[in-house]
Amino acid sequence: MPDALATVRPAVPNYGIDADRVGGRDSVVAAAKRRWEGRYAVDEFGGDPHLQDFLFAPVVGRIPVHLEGAEHLPREGGALLVANRGPMFTEPFVLSGAVQRAVGRRLRLVGLPNPPLLGVFAHKLGGVGRRAGDAAAVLRAGHLAAAPLAMQISSTSAGEAPRPVIAATLGFPLLPVAVRPGGPGGVPLRPWAVTVGAPLLPPDDTEPGDPLAAAELAEQVRAEIAAMLHGARGE
């Protein structure tokens, strides 16, 4: 299959703010001055790295997390992380904090709600639309993205995998991730436990967008996440 990573583009000037890596935080006065002077950039997905460094990174960076499998997280280039999701939509933010601490990279969250006004801030803080093509564009731009499994009542079970997103992003590393609250019965009293599995790739002769390969990969990633969640429960 064509090398999807070959189309990754170089970073563009961003007033000293890295669009992919979490940077230092301005003081309130310096941040306000920077905003007033317009010396910040947005990316084509509506992300605002300066605002992310100022508002989002400090918050998710404080979520207590115990991370396993950090060595699987790529230090550069695009990759899709697929994680389980409970009813409260907290898992993507926990995962974002874990990635930030492990490799210092921003995580783009696929499929965040996009209501008026709130959607603007969701995009500025790293959200991406629900469409599979948009998720693929994020990876081609060299970012890390996270797509959730279908929502489950229990935050420790694995729902259906996002097959259209997986089909659109075939060729990029696909990492299964299990996110579990640390306390008994799913209560987030102790640090969250995040386990990152080894990257999954389709067979070498897979065509981009191959629906059958995507379906197999979707089932494989769901099974991997379920195994990681069940393994943790059995401990």
Partner 1 sequence: MRVLVTGMGGHLGTRVAQLLEARDDVEAVAGFDFVPPRRRLSRSLFKRIDPRDRDRLVEFVRGFAPTAVAHFGVYEPGARMGVRASVEASDDCTVNALGAAVRAGALDRVVVRSGLEVYGRGGHRHEVPDEHAPLGPTTPYGRICLDVEAHAAGLARRHGVPVAALRFAPISGSRAPSPLGRLLRLPAVPVPALADPPFQLLHTDDAARAMVAALVRQADGAFNVVGPGAASPWQAARLGNRVPVPFVGPGWLVATRVAELAGSPVPPHVLELIRKGCVADGGRAESELGLTDLVPTQEVVADLYAWASVTALPGSPTVAAPLRGAG
- Give whichever of 46 and 69 is closer to partner 1, judged by the CB atom: 46
Residue 119: Cβ within 10 Å count: 15
In whole angstroms, the minimum distance from the beta carbon of 212 to partner 1 comes to: 19
Nearest 5 degrees, angle CA 26-CA 118-CA 141?
A: 65
Report the residue number, 44 or 160, with the smaller CB distance to partner 1: 44
Q: How far is the CB of 114 from partner 1 (least distance, A)?
A: 9
Q: Find residue 109's DSSP bridge partners.
A: 127, 146
Residues 6+ apart with CB under 8 A from 133: 168
Question: Cβ of residue 50: shortest distance to partner 1, in angstroms?
Answer: 10
Question: Is the Cβ–Cβ distance between 103 and 171 less than 8 Å?
Answer: no
Task: Give 49 or 159: the residue with its C-beta nearer to partner 1.
Answer: 49
User: Site residues (CB under 8 A) for partner 1?
Assistant: 6-7, 9-10, 12-15, 19, 35-46, 116-117, 120, 124, 128-129, 131, 133-134, 136-138, 140-141
Q: Least separation, in Å, of the C-beta of 120 and partner 1?
A: 5
CA separation for the pair 196, 137 (Å, rounded): 23
Our CB check for partner 1 shows the closer of 39 and 230 to be 39
Which of 6, 1, 9, 8 shows the shortest CA–CA distance to 201?
1
